[in-house]
Amino acid sequence: MSKRALPAFLFLACSLVAAQSSATLEGKSTRLTLLSALSSKSPKASEFRARLEESVQVDGEVLLPQGTLFEGHVEPRPARRMIRSGALRLVFDRMVLPDGTVRFTNTSLTSIDYKGVKTDSEGTVRPRLSKKRLLVQVGGALLIAKVGDDLSEVAIATVTKNGARFFGLGAAVAFVLLQKGGEVKVPQGTGIEITFGREGEVLPMGLSPEPPFSPSRQ
């Protein structure tokens, strides 16, 4: 083999080894433990961390070792009037391996092991409807309406009676409209499930992907 062909041959050989050794996490699910408490009242872009408790393997090859940290930020939406509940989205930005290697990741939330919240098909976390809270809101509205009706019974003039009834009904509606929905609250230490997307490619241990292209590097 000529000296000119040797570099090309070595480059091709290294590329083949990397292609055979690399594996993908696409469609793979795993479980993490939250190291941060989550809330829909948190400031926007608040950071969170979660830890991988068991290594992730594909065909006997360890792609993510135990103890890998997942770091990201939250996109919160606090509860609003008219009984509109709060919501929360978790955006996973990167993975930090135990040896300090940082990798970007395309990861989505699948579920949270906490009875106070639920996760929809898009990975948005919302509070579960509390029966106690619902009873308080409905009971409060009925009580206000009943007070208005009682006032109409003791009123003398017909116009006053009708006005009292409308006042009670309006007050009950206003009470409901002014009520806020529930907030999302997830304590530290809660288990969550995540799923890797198409960009979840993992290189062999010790190798790092090329950093994203930036015009400033030219």
In the numeric block, the tokens 């009873």 are attached to 135
Please give the span between the terminal C-alpha atoms of the chain, in angstroms, as a whole number: 36
DSSP character at residue 28:
-
CATH 2.40.128.260 correct for 23-129+182-206: yes
Bridge partners of 50, per DSSP, are 34, 70
Cα(167)–Cα(155) distance, integer angstroms: 13
Cα(45)–Cα(194) distance, integer angstroms: 20
Q: Per-residue confidence of the chain (218 residues) as pLDDT tens digits?
A: 555 555 554 444 444 333 333 567 888 999 999 999 999 999 999 999 999 999 999 888 898 999 999 999 999 999 887 678 899 999 999 999 999 999 998 999 999 999 999 999 889 999 987 555 555 555 544 555 555 555 555 554 554 555 555 555 555 555 455 567 789 999 999 999 999 986 544 433 333 444 443 444 44
Q: Which pTM was predicted?
A: 0.63
Sorted by where each begins, the domain ranges of the chain are 23-129+182-206, 131-178
